[in-house]
């Protein structure tokens, strides 16, 4: 690929609160996405609240914009997505060929992702391998997942810390082995551990009480760590990115 402009990463038109966590010499990078920010605009009017304030080509999965300094168009390929309510690591690449190389690792299930979540309740065990069969339906642009279906979903679960206070909540680590839509949210609910602030699958009454007491209405699901190896330019490369817990998590636990 041709050399990137010297100011490429420093001048990305990122959403407020988003920041580049790390990048490598090939043009692969990880961005820390805040909760409430869209991974990409679903419609043109969504651009102001998406990861980049730029045009987006859904077919190529690519953002495009023109830098203030002038020159030709700049592009950034999106490699994975997070629900708007989920914060944390999201991957991007500065070339289409590199994007394809990394997406092949996703297809081969070679990308390891670790999430942290704050859930209502106390897990009955400290460590477990969750195996479920889900049903994922897409209707009118919305995705809904049910705990009864025929799509395998596997997640490694670990209790990090239980907190007793105004609410009984637990910080848990979730290592998904499959990548189903809303997988973690539905698997948590199935085990009586709804994610705090989940407005689709969670405990709506507890969510209201929690928001009223703490003043925080976000969903407490965070993409904490992503790591994998990939092949590029005839050699193997390793990549890892970690997004620290947002302050609102730390304030609770």
d(CA 250, CA 53): 29
Per the listing, tokens 């990861």 go with 51
CB neighbours of residue 191 within 10 Å? 17
Q: Please check the confidence at residue 1 and state whether its pLDDT lies above 70.
A: no
Least confident of 161-175, 179-193, 221-235: 161-175
How many separate domains does the chain show? 2
Model pLDDT for residues 94-152, shown as the tens digit of each residue: 999 999 999 999 999 999 999 999 999 999 999 999 999 999 888 766 889 998 889 99
* Four-residue CA torsion sign, 176, 89, 242, 103: positive
Tell me if 233 is assigned to some domain.
no
72: pLDDT confidence band, cut at 50, 70 and 90?
A: confident
Q: Verify that 53 and 11 share a domain, yes or no.
A: yes
Tell me if 43 is assigned to some domain.
yes
Catalytic residues: 83
Give the residue from 84, 108, 132 where a domain finishes.
108
Give the residue from 108, 130, 160 where a domain finishes.
108
Choose among 188, 190, 194: nearest CA to 210. 194
Question: What pLDDT is attached to residue 18?
Answer: 97
Choose among 194, 216, 220: nearest CA to 205. 194
* DSSP at 195: B
46: pLDDT confidence band, cut at 50, 70 and 90?
A: confident
Q: Verify that 143 and 209 share a domain, yes or no.
A: yes
d(CA 218, CA 247): 12
Q: What is the pTM of this model?
A: 0.93
Residue 79 CA from chain centroid, whole number: 11
Instruction: Assess contact for 30 and 18: CB atoms under 8 A.
Output: no
Instruction: Assess contact for 169 and 253: CB atoms under 8 A.
Output: yes
Choose among 224, 184, 218: nearest CA to 201. 184
* Four-residue CA torsion sign, 208, 213, 218, 224: negative
169: pLDDT confidence band, cut at 50, 70 and 90?
A: very high
3-state secondary structure of 138: strand
Domain interval for residue 137: 115-221
Please state whether beta strands 127-139 and 55-57 pair in parallel, antiparallel, or not at all (unpaired): unpaired
d(CA 132, CA 73): 45
3-state secondary structure of 20: strand
Q: Verify that 120 and 208 share a domain, yes or no.
A: yes
CATH of residue 140: 3.30.2350.10
Tell me if 12 is assigned to some domain.
yes
């Amino acid at each position: 690929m041709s050399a990137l402009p010297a100011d490429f990463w420093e001048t990305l038109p990122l959403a407020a609160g988003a920041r580049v966590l790390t990048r490598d010499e090939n043009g692969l990078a990880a961005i820390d996405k805040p909760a409430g920010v869209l991974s990409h605009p679903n419609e043109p009017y969504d651009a102001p609240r998406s990861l980049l304030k730029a045009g987006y080509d859904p077919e190529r999965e690519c953002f495009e914009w023109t830098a203030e300094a002038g020159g030709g168009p700049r592009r950034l390929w999106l490699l994975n997505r997070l629900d708007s309510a989920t914060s944390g690591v999201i991957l991007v690449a500065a070339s289409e060929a590199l994007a394809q190389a990394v997406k092949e690792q996703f297809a081969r299930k070679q990308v390891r992702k670790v999430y942290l979540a704050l859930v209502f309740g106390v897990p009955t065990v400290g460590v477990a391998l969750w195996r479920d069969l889900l049903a994922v339906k897409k209707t009118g642009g919305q995705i809904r997942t049910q705990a009864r279906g025929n799509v395998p979903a596997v997640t490694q679960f670990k209790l990090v810390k239980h907190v007793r206070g105004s609410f009984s909540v637990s910080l848990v680590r979730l290592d998904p082995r499959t990548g189903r839509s809303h997988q973690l949210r539905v698997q948590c609910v199935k085990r009586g551990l709804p994610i705090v602030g989940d407005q689709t699958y969670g405990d709506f009454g507890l969510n209201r009480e929690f928001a009223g007491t703490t003043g925080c209405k976000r969903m407490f699901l965070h993409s904490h760590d992503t790591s994998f190896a990939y092949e590029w330019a005839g050699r193997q490369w390793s990549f890892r990115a970690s997004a620290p817990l947002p302050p609102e998590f730390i304030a609770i636990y």
